[in-house]
Structure 1
Amino acid sequence: MDKKYFITLADYNVWADNIAMGWLNQIDEEQWNQAIISSFSSIQQTAMHIASAEKIWVDFWRKVPDPVYLSAGFKGTKNDLIEIWRKASAGLRNFIEEYPEENYLQKISFIKPNGEEDQMEFVQTFPHIINHSTFHRGQLVTMLRQAGFTKLSSTDLFTFYRLHC
């Protein structure tokens, strides 16, 4: 895996996140908070999880002291969360652009949501967060359909490649 490939995946993630955020901008507060059974209990909780994960991984990569999961205490509005997510997604892309390829095998220390400390090579953590966000964006699609929102479009990597590469 090389830097060019990682930048393409980061570009894909920003593109797909922006589509998902566009969907969220179109739903009302009832849909946003509606109880829906999935990995998380609502569209809001699922979106917060994606934004939190993208933000915390950049914090881990940058070795931010005492990083905090957004989901641990976020009290803002839907628009606040979408803006945090937008910045996290762009920040992830910017980090990849700046991060030297010769550091890809370096160990990254992180703290799991349960407080357990662990390490993985950077080259493993980056594809993980892309896969993680893709998985939960897929859940958003299902949850949005259950909440009555149907103005969905593809966020598939294949579609990204066809449109941008």
Structure 2
Amino acid sequence: MNHPVQMFHYHTWANQAILGRIKELPSSVLSQEVNSSFPTIAHALTHIYAVDKMWYLILTGTGMREALQTCIALNETILSSVDEYAAIFDQLGEQFREWLQGQVDLEQSILLDNPFNGIRQTRLSEMVLHLVNHGTYHRGNISTMLRQLGHASTMNDYFLFWYQEPASSQRKKTI
């Protein structure tokens, strides 16, 4: 499996790990206000989802300006339960997996017209890795928010993901 695909699998696993932890807590934790990067954990989850959706649209052929415009409204859509977040993340993850399976060359470049930074030749793999990095950053925000609310988070590091993969998918390597 190539690296960007593996990293995307990590991203979906880590999203579900943090959602699983939040689901173990009182349902009010999702909408409890906290002095952090986002006003609530629900806002942080919504932001991760909106940006993931934006990159999915870009990767599947929508211009960045149009994808950004489409997904700005998603940032305002705050869901009321962890199950709702898990469902939308699962659905989008499946769409990404289907798209990834259809790609023969993630190293191909497209002309990305970023309304904030200008035009740049960008590899599909770079966009996937950016999406993963963005999610990791904001899952860290959520972990901090959980601690500020008096709850432990859960480990969702890439290192742990290595050991969570099904044994059948692991390749033995000698070093």
Percent identity over paired residues: 19
Judging changes above 3 Å, is the alpha-carbon distance between structure 1 residues 37 and 110 closer, same or farther for their aligned structure 2 residues?
Answer: farther
Match of 1:146 in 2: 148
Unaligned runs of at least 5 residues, structure 2: 171-175
Instruction: Give 1:86 deviation, angstroms.
Output: 2.1
Q: Find 1:15's aligned residue among 13, 24, 38.
A: 13
Match of 1:128 in 2: 130
Q: Distance in 2 between matches of 1:147 and 1:128?
A: 29
**Residue correspondences, number:** 159
Contact persistence 1:55–1:89 (CA under 8 A): no
The aligned residue for residue 100 of structure 1 is: 104
Measured on the aligned residues, the alpha-carbon RMSD in Å equals 2.5
How far 1:163 moved relative to its partner?
3.0
Give the alignment's TM-score, normalised by structure 1.
Answer: 0.80
**How much does 1:105 deviate?**
2.6
Determine whether 1:41 maps to 2:66: no
Letter matched to residue 103 of structure 2: Y
**Distance change in 2, residues 1:47/1:76 (3 Å):** closer
Q: Which residue of 1 aligns with 2:51?
A: 53
Alignment of 1:90 with 2:99, yes or no, is no
Q: Distance in 2 between matches of 1:127 and 1:55?
A: 14
SS at match of 1:60: helix
Shift of 1:29: 4.2
Residue number in structure 1 paired with 2:173: none
Contact 1:110 1:118 in 2 (8 A): yes
After TM superposition, the score normalised by the length of structure 2 is 0.76
Compute the displacement of 1:144 (Å).
1.2
Which stretches of structure 1, 4 residues or longer, exceed 6 Å deviation after superposition? Answer: none
